[in-house]
A = this chain, B = another copy of it.
């Protein structure tokens, strides 16, 4: 087994810093392990020796005489290095450092933390933490934590097919206890703290590989490479609360593209691409877990709603539209059948409102749910009953359960009313595979999470020939030559060295050209008067002289008239290169409307990106203008993303504008930057 599985499957556990003293942290894990019936070997470790809760204390890890699967380090920060060294030398598989006082305190703490990681890596031991609250659950009944949650007699041992990983210890165990209370079957919870070695993503990947786990819920504050997690998400649903939204945009943007591809947008893009649901808060995380636990999947996004309250139905419809799913368009047969049973003061179309008549006519609700489930346009069902009392629960729950098991459709219930009106309601529904939510909005958000994790698609991204990466400080002409050689649409251009050459160049470009000053370090050369459009034979000599006076070379380029201006860029991120497509030209900053995706992308991705921005109506032809050649732009973007795929990590390319005409598109400006070589931002072109 992977060593990380020790977090929920350890057969032997050592507790370093064990003590009998009531209230001490070093007593709690041993207390919990005994109380919750851990059947493996427990080794309290403390140089003082003696006994703790009836168990003999070992003075050191070495003295145990065998390697243990899991060691909990619960000593003051200053003693942690020795403890970890002791663990590593004794052949421990996984060591959880609960102690605080490391990277979270500053530079010296960070150095101390690095030392822990070095020891662990030297000995092939995995290190969880420091500054975490441990792990609980699994078939082995591992209680490797000092969380006060388990000091309450009301807290049962976690049990179920859902796992929770949290970077935050207190929030993780709090969410676990809330989940247990709400009936969300969380069977394993792991907290990862400072993540010196093991990250929440590492743990989630291992959890997803475990056959006892059907879905993973995560709380994370930082997000590294998602590759392995994306793989895990192919087979099991994963939902994430990602904190730190308010730091979005903190990255200083050296170019337009960077400014638009804000950090939080990139996180969104990365999670979306990986088929991982990003949810709003811990409520939504637990709500998603309750639905994931039923084993339902939901590749489609058309939802049927049955309600006893018109209000709940409208709120459900609002929520469905707001989150980009659809209220299912029922077939005429379905509507006809519903019309026959729904009262005239109700509604026989979606959302189907059976009204309070359901009180007088048992079976009406079930009939409607059943009929709705039989409509092929329905991908999931939301059943709303504002008030559900007494025995009605059992009947409705079993009807919903039967639809769920017969059709495989996800079915969720909304009960905006006190649990005490039908105290068994949630449990009876849950046993039928139907999670219950207090509001339509929360039910729909859970379905959205399920849908997001069910939309896997394996599209082939065609790999064409590579383009060589530009050298650091490459000029506009050099970057454009590389792009043109890769088959990208770049207007012809020529460097000119004299007034005579300027006049020649204009005639070569059919009598009108763009002249640009190519001056290293001149970022906004339009503003500096370094770009002159519509140069003719008459003005060529004078313009050349003026631009040459700016101190660099002068580039003459074929003049492209009009078109819709797009910006296309590639920027680096911790999650891999990010593609930006949006409104370009002078509107770039004003409209600030761009879509981002992690690379690679295919044509469908790029079309989706365009559709998400104001480029879509602009390209479609506003106010009767002829539509622009969207296909040409899509081809260019896909080819660009493809031919740059082996360019150095950290490179940044900014094409702005790309003019999209009614026939074809042209890259008018190109800016290249390679952070990995210490290259400063270069304006390699500019309009």
Interface residues of A (CB under 8 A from B): 25, 100-102, 104-106, 109, 131, 133, 147-149, 151-152, 154-155, 166-175, 177-178, 180-181, 219, 221, 241, 243-246, 280-283, 308-312, 314-315, 317-318, 320-322, 327, 343-345, 355-357, 359-360, 386-387, 389-390, 415-421, 423, 438-442, 524, 526-527, 586-587, 589-592, 614, 617-618, 622-624
Contacts and interface: CB of A to CB of B under 8 A. Distances in A.
A311 B100 contact: no
A590 B622 contact: yes
B244 A314 contact: yes
A442 B177 contact: no
Given A151-B389, A151-B390, A281-B441, 16 more contacts: A25-B360, A100-B345, A100-B356, A100-B357, A101-B344, A148-B421, A152-B390, A168-B312, A170-B308, A174-B312, A244-B318, A245-B322, A246-B321, A246-B322, A246-B327, A587-B587
A418 B312 contact: no
A311 B420 contact: no
Q: How many copies of this chain are found per oligomer? A: 2
In the complex, the 8 A-B pairs of residues with the closest C-beta atoms, listed nearest first:
A168-B311, A174-B386, A170-B309, A171-B311, A154-B420, A177-B418, A174-B417, A181-B418
Contacts of A618: 590
A148 B318 contact: no
B387 A315 contact: no
Nearest to A191: B311
B149 A421 contact: yes
Given A318-B246, A586-B623, A104 B345 contact: yes
Contacts of A131: 345
B309 A169 contact: yes
A622 B527 CA distance: 11
B310 A168 contact: yes
A345 to B, nearest CB: 4
Contacts of A167: 311
A526 B623 contact: yes
A489 to B, nearest CB: 24
Contacts of A25: 360
Considering residues A345, A386, A623, which has the most beta carbons from chain B within 10 angstroms of its beta carbon? A386
Contacts of A417: 149, 173-175, 177-178
Given A167-B311, A178-B417, A355 B100 contact: yes
A171 B312 contact: yes
A318 B245 contact: yes
B389 A420 contact: no
A155 B614 CA distance: 53
15 contacts: A100-B355, A106-B344, A131-B345, A149-B389, A151-B390, A152-B390, A152-B420, A155-B421, A170-B312, A178-B416, A180-B418, A246-B322, A281-B442, A524-B624, A587-B587
Contacts of A622: 586, 589-590
A282 B439 contact: yes
A360 B26 CA distance: 12
A106 B417 CA distance: 30
A389 B282 contact: no
B155 A386 contact: no
A418 B591 CA distance: 46
Given A243-B314, A245-B322, A421-B177, A171 B345 contact: no
Considering residues A105, A168, A587, which has the most beta carbons from chain B within 10 angstroms of its beta carbon? A168
B386 A171 contact: yes
B105 A344 contact: yes
Contacts of A308: 170
Contacts of A309: 168-171, 174
A170 B314 CA distance: 13
A133 to B, nearest CB: 7
A166 B312 CA distance: 12
Contacts of A359: 148
A116 to B, nearest CB: 15
Contacts of A173: 386-387, 417
Given A147-B387, A181-B418, A386-B171, A283 B439 contact: yes
A418 B417 CA distance: 20
Nearest to A175: B416
Contact of A421 (B102, B154, B360): B154
B421 A311 contact: no
Nearest to A527: B624
Contacts of A102: 345
Nearest to A182: B418
Contacts of A617: 589-590
